[in-house]
Structure 1
Amino acid sequence: ERIAAQKAAEERAERVAARKAAQERAERIAAQKAAEERAERAAAAKAAQERAERIAREKAAQERAEERQRAREEAERKERLEREQQRKEQERREREEERRQTPPVRTGDPRSIGRAMVAERGWDAAQFQCLDNLWTKESNWQVDATNPTSGAYGIPQSLYPELMAEAGPDWRTNPATQIEWGLGYISGRYGTPCGAWAHSVELNWY
């Protein structure tokens, strides 16, 4: 009986040890599996983060490239616009120089020429009336009118007649040249013919 009891006890101990070993093995397997799952999740999270960072870097690089492209295009547009403006300004200056060097042929009496040139400057009929009053008083629109006292000459009665050469070499005989110079003088000194006429009325000279 003692032998049987001892054998039974040994069998129970073996079964307990086997169950314990099986449990420990199961726990190790579960722990290993959990560790592997955590590692997989960590790796997946790291990969996702790296992918997100890579996408963000690529997006930022793309945005910088697009911004540089837009800046280049804007700079090119401004450069083209500036060149176009310079070209137009050059053409305008060339036309102005050509116009200055080859003034239009004026026909008609000096008063009619003066009326047309006043209109070309954007002055209205009232301004021409002031000019007519002024130059009728000064020279009666005579190209060769000369003041024996002061030496003033021509339609605008320039005190320094040679200054009219600024408007053209034919200033002695061409009414249009004299009128062009006279209108420039009036514009620069009085602003308008009516300003010059008011000064003449007040002081008897302009």
Structure 2
Amino acid sequence: MSTSDRGAWRHAARAFRPHRTIPAIVVAALLAAAAILTLVGAIAATAGSPVRLPALERTMGWAAANWADPATLVASSLACLAGLVLLGFGLIPGRPRLIPLASADPNSVVGITPGAARRHLASVADQVDGVSRARVRLGRRRLDVRVTTPLREPGDLPERVTATMEHHLEELAPLRPPRVRVDVRHRGH
């Protein structure tokens, strides 16, 4: 992969990176609630009349009195772990929802959904002479093509399907082209 291809890959990966909205909303809501409670408490304490929230006072009194209690330690450890997990979800990007494709314009990013790529490549494999049915699995680095043929002796069918798939992958131009693996199965009529 050349330097320009790596740059295009990084640009496309950034553009197609899925957003982690649910963990972000949960973390934002919890932080906003904590900030509002802290702000209200600070303003009330500064004004000379602390806020009295009975449920919060009971919880704080229980937590302050029972730090040595194993249940308190387990609950606080789980809360800390949940916060770290949510933070990790927010920082680590998920799998892209689109497969980035090469573009002649360096300022544009083009992509195709994995489902559309699978359907397109399966229809391409179906058009090869001797293939009655084709199924495609598209992984991160590999394209598995399973073709069914009525021929008892497939001969060079795997090579023809492989060549056809590689040719169409060149036309489709994914930034990271997968390796093609073809599996031929015989199904008599």
TM-score norm. by structure 1 comes to: 0.24
More strand by share: 2
More helix by share: 1
Q: Which has the higher contact order (CA 8 A, sep 6+)?
A: 2
TM-score norm. by structure 2 comes to: 0.25
Q: Which protein is bigger by CA-based radius of gyration? A: 1
